[in-house]
Structures are given as C-alpha cells and as structure tokens.
Amino acid sequence: MPYVKTRDGTDLYVKDWGSGRPVILLHGWPLNADSWDPQAMALADAGFRAIAYDRRGFGRSGQPWNGYDYDTLSDDLADVMAATGAEQDATIVGFSMGGGEVARYMSRHGGKGVIAAALIASVVPYMLQTDDNPHGTPQSTFDQIADGIRTDRAKFFHDTFVPQFYGVGMISSPVSQEQIDHSTALAMMAGLKPTLACAEAFGHTDFRPDLASFRVPTLIVHGTGDKTVPIDASGRAAAKGIAGSQLVEYEGAPHGLNVTESDRLTRDLLTFLGR
C-alpha cells in the first residue's frame, strides 16, 4: 500500500517497513520520508514497524493548493495511522517541522493510539521571536528564506539552507558534498506552493498550548549548535513545558543531526523505545 488517501482526497506516499510495534516517522522541511531511511531500517531490523510518509506537497505525495496548516497536517497523520492500522501502541517521532505534527496530533486528536512521542531538532513549541518568546527567530529571517526560495529555490537550498542545516562552515564540513546534493534534490521534489506555505506554518504556529496534551513518555533530542532551530526557543523550552519529558542535548550538533549524528540518534531512539 504505497499510497494513503486523506480525508480531503490527497494521496500520501507511505513507506512501511518491518513488523511489530509501530513507529511513525515525520520528516522535516523541505525533505521527505527518505531522510529517515537509516533510522527506519534500524527500527525494522530491531523488531519495530517503521512507517514514514511524504508530507502533502513533498516528495511523491500529492501537491494540493491547500492544507498546509498544522490542523490539516495532523489530520493527515491520523489518516495514515488509520489506513496502516497503526492506531494502537504507536510512537510518533517528528523531526524539525514534523515535531509540530506530533504536538498538534496530541492536542487535536487527543493522542489517540499513541504510547510515546519524540521531538527531534523540533520547531516545538514556538519559533517566531515575539515579546513573550525572546529567544525565537526574527521575522526578518523568515522573510529572507521566502525571498531566497522565490528568487532561485535550487541555489538557495544548495548554497545556503542545506549547508547551514548540516553545520557546514569555513572550517568544518561534517557531511559530504554528495549529501548536500542529495538533500537539495529531495527538497526540490516539493512544490513551490507547499514549500512556502509550510515555511509559513512552522515559523508562525504557536504550539505552546499543545504541550499540556503530551501525557506519554516524550524524548526530546536537540543539538546545541543548531542554527536553523535554536535550542533555547525549541528543545529546552519544550522540555520545560512537557511534564516528565527527557531532554538529550547533542553538544555542538547542527540541525540535521539525523545525518551528522545518525548512529547516536538511532541508538537513543532504540533505547527510548525499549523503555
């Protein structure tokens, strides 16, 4: 069953590997489910059922004009869980933008069927800098991202966003050029409208009211060197707002720690799931 049809008729491409307790993996912006492949394979090998899907507008999924708000995106998650039969004893894991879907599912859908959650380099609880969120990202940064995408999306992703995503700088380069090329290719599979609309959604959605809905064991993993989603307004703030959560900080790790710290993240996920 490579595709699931959502309640509004959008086709979502689903990868369903292994058998056992389901773990649903939600990818970051502007990538797709393939970015979870190393973890998905390890989970399947360890006796879990790894389910990863391309968010609407991204990868091999349909690209409707509407539906890039988090209420709709969390409904898509519920539809994938229902269609795959992963509605019991499930763990939902969100990377970057995908953390918002986890948070909104816990509030909007009451965490139905979920026994554990994980937020990996996540945008939760609130990215935008405001008077009551001083550690957030200034609006000017989001404006620059939108301008770069509209002007030359391929160049922006390849030369600016993806290198920052993986912590590439003048001195250090923790990933290969081939990895940058691959991630850019995944990003370019998304439509222009979904790319812009989802950037608006994750940059401006306030998930602070959703935090009280986390009533299951929750793992939070974030890099202290994350320049894309800085840890103070995200990982550390989420840990303070989610009762009983476990925060694991990766010292110096960039945003794309699912690649730069792939083996460590896989071990931490398996340890958490084993609890």
Q: Looking only at Cα atoms, what is the longest distance across the chain? A: 48
11, 56, 120 from 218: Cα distances, Å: 30, 25, 11
Q: Where are the beta strands (DSSP E) in the chain?
A: 3-5, 11-17, 21-26, 48-53, 90-95, 114-120, 218-223, 246-250
Angstrom distance (rounded) from CA 41 to CA 266: 10
**Residue linked to tokens 């691959």:** 182
Q: Known catalytic residue: 226?
A: yes
Q: Count other C-beta atoms under 10 Å from residue 1's C-beta.
A: 7
Active-site pick, 96, 107, 122, 213: 96
For the four alpha carbons of 199, 200, 206 and 207, in that order, the dihedral sign comes to negative
**N residues, the chain:** 275
Active-site pick, 226, 234, 245, 268: 226
User: Is the bond into 209 cis (omega within 30 degrees of 0)?
Assistant: no
DSSP state, 190? S
Phi, psi of 196 (to 5 degrees): -70, -45
Record the tokens describing residue 134, joined without a space. Answer: 């001083």
Q: Known catalytic residue: 210?
A: no
Active-site pick, 27, 35, 255, 268: 255
Q: Known catalytic residue: 109?
A: no
Record the tokens describing residue 41, joined without a space. Answer: 């394979």
Task: State the catalytic residues.
Answer: 96, 226, 255
